[in-house]
Amino acid sequence: MDSPPTVSQSIFGSVLHHPNCAKLLAGEVIAAFGDRINQTALLSIVVYTTGNTAKYSADIMFWAVAPAVALGPFAAALIDRWDRQRLMVISNVARSFLAAGLPLLMLQIKHHYAIYAVVFLMGAFATVFTPSRLALMPRLAPDRLMLPANALLSQAGTVATLAAMPVSGYIVERFGRETSFFLNGLTYLAAAAFIWTLRPLPSVAREGHGEGTGHSPLEEIRAGLRYIRNTRAVLFYVIFTGLTQCLVAVFFVCFLSYGADVVGSRVGTRVLVTNLLFGAMGVGMAAGAVWLGRFPKWSERFWWPMVMMVCTGLGMVALSQIYNPWFAAMVLLDIGFCAVMVLVPVDTFLQKNVPDEFRGRVFVVRGALVGIAFLVCLQFSKALLHQLGVLHSLECLGLAAMMVGLASVWIGQCICAAKSHPSRDRKADAVS
């Protein structure tokens, strides 16, 4: 039985000493390290061979996210029916072969479509992997470690970025893109090995015996939709996550164009500056994760993610006024700090409050809905950049983030008020 953390043992120390959390975190960091090398190689292709950073970056992201929408129903049928740990291992092994095989495919098909095809397939396995991990998490860690464990796992990419930043550019330039993709494949295999050794607790409700099991994938997704629709708090957080991802999609394209074409072009090292700015944002996210671990009670307040959304918007508006890379890095620290406190508490709430037999489907449905929002806004971002330019787009995006945060606080208060009047809720349900 897990003992509570003592004065000499921080909450993050408890997470790192928990065998399942430590193994899962190690696998995530290793895989994310390989992904950063992969992304540096892809970014070098985009910057140096296409001449259009915003368009091709958005296209690659489109094909990475599209599987969440197209294959969501099939993933929902798998995750609550099959062993989630094995699904995670299979997904990582498949992504390993895809990443390592990308150079061979590019030799046969000398077109960007080869990259899009592999990115789509890797996204398809990520559509299974990510909801499986989120749904399995309550069986890997005790309740008191859920929030700090999620905070650490959310920062696996940040840790990998900081570790890969000094070497990823060197590896791509010195050994070539082919070696970079091969290394990414090896990191996925290593991550699969760590996941294979996890020892999850038995499920209270046996997986595969929830509503919709035994029916078609479409029925599985409908079961998840019904649960979300009938649970107001879950519906609110799913919608809030979708709106957040809309903003993330636009910010992703704006950020790459800002780093490479606005700040990087002034300094003369576009890829390096973009990686450094991304690393600065990652440091801010890591600081936010540490803050979550030290003060978890703050993040349990329903309004906390929405207030952090407003602060993130303020940071975007400030970034639109800056051309100096050092000042931009300082603002991105703030954006990263606030951004991690927008999404991590939402994931933790769903993990704690959604029953195990529905949890996989809820995360898949959320992923599909978020994917739709992300893809629509990703395409919108290209038109926005074309019409307004990078800096004005960032300014508008920041204002939109502040409005979403303020509106969400008000809506969340209404939901809390409805919870405090259960009789009123029953009358409303009877009318509907």
Q: What is the 3-state secondary structure (H, E, C) of 364-413?
A: HHHHHHHHHHHHHHHHHHHHHHHHHHHHHHHHHHHHHHHHHHHHHHHHHH
**CATH code at 323?**
1.20.1250.20
Buried b (16+ CB within 10 A) or exposed e, 383-419: ebbeeebbbebbbbbbebbbebbeebbeebeeeeeee
Tokens of 79: 């995750």
pLDDT at 431 over 60: no
pLDDT digits (tens, 9 = 90+) for 237-284: 888 888 888 888 788 878 877 876 667 555 556 666 777 787 788 788
Residue 3 lies in a domain: no
Q: What pLDDT digit, counting tens, does each position of 134-156 carry?
A: 888 888 888 777 777 877 777 66
Task: Name the residue with higher pLDDT: 44 or 344.
Answer: 344
pLDDT digits 0-9 by tens, 408-423: 888 877 776 665 544 4
Would 198 be classed as within a structural domain? yes
202 within some domain: yes
How much is the pLDDT for 386?
Answer: 79
Is residue 69 one of the residues assigned to a domain? yes
- The answer to whether position 2 is within a domain reads no
Q: What does the alpha-carbon distance between residue 83 and residue 203 come to, in Å, rounded to a whole number?
A: 11
**282 or 304, which is more confident?**
304
Q: Lowest-pLDDT range, 118-132, 137-151, 307-321? A: 137-151
Return the higher-pLDDT residue of 302 and 166.
Answer: 302
- Show the domain range for 121: 11-420
Residues 214 and 30: their CA atoms lie apart, in Å, by 36
pLDDT exceeds cutoff 90 at 89: yes
Q: Per-residue confidence at 318, pLDDT binned at 50, 70, 90? A: very high
pLDDT in tens, 325-373: 888 889 999 998 998 888 888 888 888 888 877 777 788 778 777 778 7
Confidence of residue 193 (pLDDT cuts 50, 70, 90): very high
Let me know if residue 174 belongs to a domain.
yes
> Averaged over 56-76, what is the pLDDT?
76
Question: Is residue 65 included in any domain, yes or no?
Answer: yes
What is the spatial distance between Cα 317 and Cα 32, in angstroms, rounded to a whole number?
Answer: 29
The string of DSSP codes covering 238-281 is HHHHHHHHHHHHHHHHHHHHIIIIIIHHHHT-HHHHHHHHHHHH
Task: Kindly state whether residue 82 falls inside one of the protein's structural domains.
Answer: yes
| Structural domains in the chain (count) | 1
pLDDT of residue 56: 67
